Each structure stands twice: as structure tokens, then as C-alpha cells.
């Protein structure tokens, strides 16, 4: 892996605590390349006590960092952003090697991840308070915003760069110190952020990267350590529930970006070619491994057959392969469990009357490579209608009218992203308002951007990331009442 990098020193395997590079008390754990299954690095495996130490370092550094002006914090965050972009290709190669997504997507993720640092560097200067007319003649009321303190993050492997930057960006901009525990599968993309933060001049202890194979122990430390004032998590609803329960004892502020079960609706009046392109971006990006990927594709009966044929014709031409190879659209799935889940969903759909019109099985390449799969005749009793596949399986459901599809789309405990394609303006408004989701894509399959508030309703989460709202999760409001 080192030999592929323009700057091999970016490939660091130790944890980053208090501005120092540290080995793990529990030795190391292996990081594998999902495309080939080979071990590409051995990374520091930190103990819970070491993570407590990192929290202490963050606590010690936070007050000084918070005393910097917004402009001063913005300047070093901007440097961090610049370094990420200058090393975009190397960061992309590291990301593909440990996570599997095609290099073009990985390089795109690095730019997307960096954009949160850029955006929130700018926001650091705009943490405005408020004055409120007093409630009595001698009273003056001022509201100020202050950083919440130490924030800790737990993030998944599917966006090893961006899931950290969209949390660390607003946290650092607000004047918080940050302790990040990356997914065990993808620590290298997190550690390299530490390397670049160090080079950018982010003060020691303000950003800490704690790598550990022991997720639940680290989660407990984050929740039980009184110095941590904010927990921010992206991952499954199941683990989100565990963390919320654990955080209850210390009444810690929590942000949760949890699972989705995104509907993607194609109405009769849609531009069908655009809907096919949107469905491909939305369903198959990152091989279906994103929480905003379309999970249920609803197509109105008048265009159902045509849509299915067009989708099949387009996906057929897209190749499966190593993410570092030219032309790859579908990389490997992250691991064997991910493959089993896709297989389970497809087998269940077939058993319940679904018709596989494309793919349906593992790829000839072996390993965790899987054929992109399309099934027609999907129904609501299938597993896929209640559970996110997180893989390259597109089930096509048929519907007759608007009210029916809105009811079907909302019939889930989740509420992260939703999508629909239609042209009729009153339909567009009505459907956008009726969908019980935090995000609605209208005539587009791509909704992620640092300038908009990303987050879910129902059991998809709490809080928003990105946009000027995203920094609020890292700020406390203080009301000062003065008698004059």
C-alpha cells in the first residue's frame, strides 16, 4: 500500500492522543483489504484506559482552544482542509484499500469529507448569540453560545473519512475538543486525518484518534466518563439504542445518525431516463452500502415494465472489480456478513414470488464480490421492505396511486432519506410534504452536501449534520440575565 502513495508517511498505524503517536496497550489488530482479503496494516489496539487518557488530554486542551477567536480556529481548520485536498488522491487510495469502494468514489468522498472542514471553518466566525428585550425595566437579557466541551464520536466503515469530518468539523469550529473512535475495519482513513491535523497546526489534544478493536468497551468509556459532554454516533439503530441507554445515566447530549429504509418512488409522469440514472446513483453508490441508499423502489404501474427494462439495461453494463482497478463501478462488499445479508434478502424475495431479472448471486471474482441484482414483483411481506439490505439488491415494487405509495413509503420505523421522481407540480409538493423523512430528494438520487442539514426522523436518529444547523449540536446556549 505504501508504494502506491505519493507521500508514504501518510500511512500511519498508531493512535493519535494529545499530539503524540501512541502504540496500543493491547498490541495491534489487522486491517484487511476487502477486495483481496489480505492484511494491509496492523493498527494500534487501544485499551479502555488509554481512551480515558485521550479524553483527559482532550479535556485539558479544550479550554485553551475555545479561547481562540473564531477566526484563529478557522485559519487552522482551513489549513487542515487544504492538506486533505492536496493529498486527496493518497487519502483516496488508503480509503479504497481498507474499505473497497472504487477509487473514483473514494477520491470523491475525500473531497466531500474535506468540504465539512471548509464549511465549518467558515462557520467558526459566525457563532452568533442573541439579545432579548428584558422582561422587566431594569433587566437586560443576552444569550451566548459556548462549546459544549469534549465531544466523542463513534463512526462506521462505509464513509471512513466523511463520517468523521462531518462531526469533527463542527466540533472543532465550535471550540470543542474531539475524540474519534473509527470503525475497526477502516482506521487508516481516520488516522491520516490526525496526521494532517498535526501538520495543519491543530493544537495537541484538540483532535484525538483512538483506534481499538473493542467497540463496546470504548462506547462504555465514552458514555461513563464525565468529561465527555457529547456523544455523536453514526451507525445502526440497534447500536444507537445501546449508546442512548448508556448515555442516559450521565444525561449526555447525543447526536445519532442511524439506519434508514429509503423509498425511491417513480411516478407515471416522471422523466424515466432521469429516474433510472437517479436510481442507479441512489441504490448502487458504494455498492448499496450507505444509509441513504434506496432500499425499496416503488414504480407506478404504467411505467413499471419500461423502468425495469431500462434499469436492467444500464446496470448490466457496469463492472464489478477491485476498487483500485480502472473502470470498476462495484467494489467488494465490506465482509462476509454483508454478503450473507444480501443473499438472505434475495432468497427471501425469491421465496415470496420475486423474479430475479439481473444478478442474484456472488460474482465469479469470488471473495465478497457480488453481482448487482434487480428483482421485480417485490411485495411488502418481504424482508427487504422492513430491513435495510446495505448491498447491491434493488427490489421493484408496483403501485397504482399516490395515496397508496405514500402509505407504503411511510410504513417503516425509519425516516432518514426518501426520493421520488415526478413532474406534476402539485404532486411534487404534496408528496414531499407527506413523506415522513428528514430528507427528500425530488428528481434527484443524490442529496448529500455539507451545506444542507442531514439527518433522520423517527428511529433514524437525533440531530442534524452539515449546514449552519450542524454546529448547534456542539454548542450550549447560556442565558445571561442582568439587572442594570
> Which secondary structure element, helix H or strand E, spans residue 15, and what is its range?
strand 15-17
Q: What is the dihedral of CA 197, 87, 173, 254, to 10 degrees?
A: -90
* Binding track, positions 18-57, relative to ligand ADP; x by CB under 6 A: ----------------------------------------
Q: Residue 418: which residues within 8 A CB-CB, separation 6 or more?
A: 262, 263, 264, 265, 409, 435, 437, 439, 440, 441
Q: Which of 235, 391, 415, 445 binds ligand ADP (CB under 6 A)?
A: 235
Shortest Å, Cβ 409 to ligand ADP: 23
Among all residues, whose Cβ is closest to ligand ADP?
219
Distance of closest approach, residue 239 Cβ to ligand ADP, in angstroms = 3
156 versus 203: smaller Cβ distance to ligand ADP? 156
Report, in angstroms and rounded to the nearest whole number, the Rg of the chain calculated over CA atoms. Answer: 23
Interface with ligand ADP includes 319 (CB under 6 A)?
no
Sites for ligand ADP among residues 92-111 (CB under 6 A) = none
Contact between 215 and ligand ADP by CB under 6 A: the answer reads: yes
Please tell me the distance from the alpha carbon of residue 25 to that of residue 92, in angstroms, as a whole number: 29
CA atoms within 13 A on the CB side of 142: 8
Query: Which C-beta is closer to ligand ADP: that of 118 or that of 185?
Result: 185
Q: Name the residue among 185, 227, 187 with its Cα closest to residue 53.
A: 227
Asked if 242 touches ligand ADP (CB under 6 A), the answer is yes
Range 146-175, binding ligand ADP (CB under 6 A):
154-156
| Residue number with CB closer to ligand ADP (155 or 467) | 155
20: left (phi over 0), alpha (psi -120 to 50) or beta: beta
- When the beta carbons of 87 and 232 are compared against ligand ADP, the nearer one is 232
The per-residue DSSP string of 310-371 comes to HHHHHHHTPEE--TTSTTEEE---SSHHHHHHHHHHHHHHHHTT-EEEE--SB-TT-TT-B-
- List, as one string, the DSSP characters of 136-182: STTEEEEEEEEE-SEEEEE--SSSTTHHHHHHHHHHHHHT-EEEEE-
Number of residues that bind ligand ADP (CB under 6 A): 12
- Catalytic pick from 257, 388, 450, 465? 257
Mark the segment that binds ligand ADP (CB under 6 A) among 23-31, 50-58, 231-239, 363-371: 231-239
Give how far the C-alpha of residue 129 lies from the chain's centroid of Cα atoms, to the nearest Å.
Answer: 29
Q: In this complex, which beta carbon is closest to ligand ADP, that of residue 219 or of residue 360?
A: 219
Of the listed pieces 88-96, 211-219, 301-309, 374-382, which binds ligand ADP according to CB under 6 A?
211-219
Cα(273)–Cα(275) distance, rounded to whole angstroms? 5
Rule CB under 6 A: is residue 183 a binding residue for ligand ADP? yes
Q: Considering beta carbons, is residue 213 or 444 the nearer one to ligand ADP?
A: 213
- CB closer to ligand ADP, 57 vs 234: 234
Look up cell 480509503; give the residue. Answer: 95
Which of 216, 301, 355, 449 forms a contact with ligand ADP (CB under 6 A)? Answer: 216
Using CA atoms, how far residue 254 sits from 231, 441, 454, 474, in Å, is: 5, 26, 15, 10
Query: Is residue 359 within the footprint of ligand ADP (CB under 6 A)?
Result: no
C-beta of 258: minimal distance to ligand ADP in Å?
8
Binding of ligand ADP by 236 (CB under 6 A)? yes
β-pair type (139-147, 319-320): unpaired
Q: Give which of 442, 401, 397 is closest to 298, Cα–Cα.
A: 397
Assess whether 59 carries a catalytic annotation: no
Provide, rounded to whole angstroms, the least separation between the CB of residue 219 and ligand ADP: 3
Q: How far apart are CA 193 and CA 188, in angstroms?
A: 9
461 binds ligand ADP (CB under 6 A): no
CA 431/CA 418 separation, integer angstroms: 11
Shortest distance in whole angstroms from residue 222 CB to ligand ADP: 8
Name the residue nearer to ligand ADP (CB basis): 82 or 236. Answer: 236
Grid cell listed for 415: 425516516
Q: Give the span between the Cα atoms of 67 and 63, in whole angstroms.
A: 6
Query: With binding defined as CB under 6 A, does residue 239 bind ligand ADP?
Result: yes
What residues line the site for ligand ADP (CB under 6 A)?
A: 154-156, 183-184, 215-216, 219, 235-236, 239, 242
- The set of catalytic residues is 257
Amino acid at each position: 500500500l505504501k508504494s502506491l502513495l505519493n507521500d508514504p508517511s501518510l500511512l500511519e498505524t498508531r493512535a493519535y492522543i494529545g499530539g503524540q503517536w501512541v502504540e496500543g496497550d493491547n498490541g495491534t489488530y489487522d486491517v484487511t483489504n476487502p477486495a483481496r482479503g489480505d492484511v494491509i496494516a496492523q493498527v494500534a489496539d487501544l485499551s479502555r484506559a488509554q481512551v480515558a487518557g485521550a479524553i483527559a488530554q482532550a479535556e485539558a486542551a479544550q479550554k485553551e482552544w475555545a479561547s481562540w477567536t473564531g477566526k484563529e480556529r478557522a485559519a487552522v481548520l482551513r489549513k487542515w482542509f487544504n492538506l486533505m485536498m492536496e493529498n486527496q488522491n493518497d487519502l483516496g487510495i488508503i480509503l479504497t484499500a481498507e474499505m473497497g469502494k472504487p477509487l473514483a468514489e473514494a477520491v470523491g468522498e475525500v473531497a466531500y469529507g474535506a468540504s465539512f472542514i471548509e464549511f465549518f471553518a467558515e462557520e467558526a466566525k459566525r457563532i452568533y448569540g442573541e439579545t432579548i428585550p428584558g422582561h422587566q425595566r431594569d433587566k437586560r437579557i443576552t444569550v451566548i453560545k459556548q462549546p459544549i466541551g469534549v465531544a466523542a464520536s463513534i463512526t462506521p466503515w462505509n464513509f471512513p473519512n466523511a463520517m468523521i469530518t462531518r462531526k469533527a468539523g463542527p466540533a472543532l469550529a465550535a471550540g470543542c475538543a474531539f475524540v474519534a473512535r473509527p470503525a475497526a475495519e477502516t482506521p487508516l482513513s481516520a488516522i491520516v486525518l490526525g496526521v494532517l491535523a498535526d501538520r495543519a497546526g491543530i493544537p495537541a489534544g484538540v483532535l484525538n484518534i483512538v483506534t481499538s478493536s473493542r467497540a463496546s468497551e470504548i462506547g462504555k468509556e465514552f458514555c461513563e466518563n464525565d468529561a465527555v459532554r457529547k456523544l455523536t454516533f453514526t451507525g445502526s439503530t440497534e447500536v444507537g439504542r445501546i449508546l442512548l441507554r448508556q448515555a442516559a445515566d450521565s444525561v449526555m447530549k447525543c447526536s445519532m445518525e442511524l439506519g434508514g429504509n429509503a423509498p425511491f418512488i417513480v411516478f407515471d409522469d416522471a422523466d424515466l431516463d432521469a429516474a433510472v440514472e437517479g436510481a442507479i446513483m441512489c441504490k448502487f453508490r458504494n455498492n448499496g452500502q450507505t444509509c441513504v441508499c434506496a432500499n425499496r423502489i416503488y414504480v407506478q404501474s404504467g411505467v413499471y415494465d419500461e423502468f425495469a427494462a431500462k434499469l436492467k439495461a444500464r446496470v448490466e453494463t457496469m463492472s464489478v472489480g477491485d476498487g483500485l482497478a480502472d473502470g470498476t463501478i462495484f467494489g467488494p462488499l465490506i465482509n462476509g456478513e454483508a454478503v450473507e445479508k444480501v443473499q438472505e434478502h434475495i432468497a427471501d424475495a425469491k421465496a415470496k414470488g420475486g423474479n430475479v431479472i439481473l444478478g442474484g448471486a456472488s460474482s465469479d471474482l469470488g471473495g465478497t464480490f457480488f453481482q448487482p441484482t434487480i428483482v421485480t414483483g417485490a411485495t411488502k411481506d418481504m424482508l427487504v421492505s422492513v430491513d435495510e439490505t446495505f448491498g447491491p439488491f434493488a427490489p421493484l415494487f408496483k403501485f397504482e396511486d399516490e395515496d397508496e405509495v405514500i402509505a407504503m413509503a411511510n410504513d417503516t420505523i425509519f425516516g432518514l432519506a426518501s426520493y421520488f421522481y415526478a413532474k406534476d407540480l402539485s404532486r411534487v409538493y404534496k408528496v414531499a410534504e407527506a413523506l415522513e423523512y428528514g430528507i427528500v430528494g425530488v428528481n434527484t438520487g443524490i442529496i448529500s452536501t455539507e451545506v444542507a442539514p442531514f439527518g433522520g426522523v423517527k428511529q433514524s436518529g437525533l440531530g442534524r449534520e452539515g449546514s449552519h444547523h450542524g454546529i448547534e449540536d456542539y454548542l450550549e446556549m447560556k442565558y445571561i440575565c442582568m439587572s442594570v
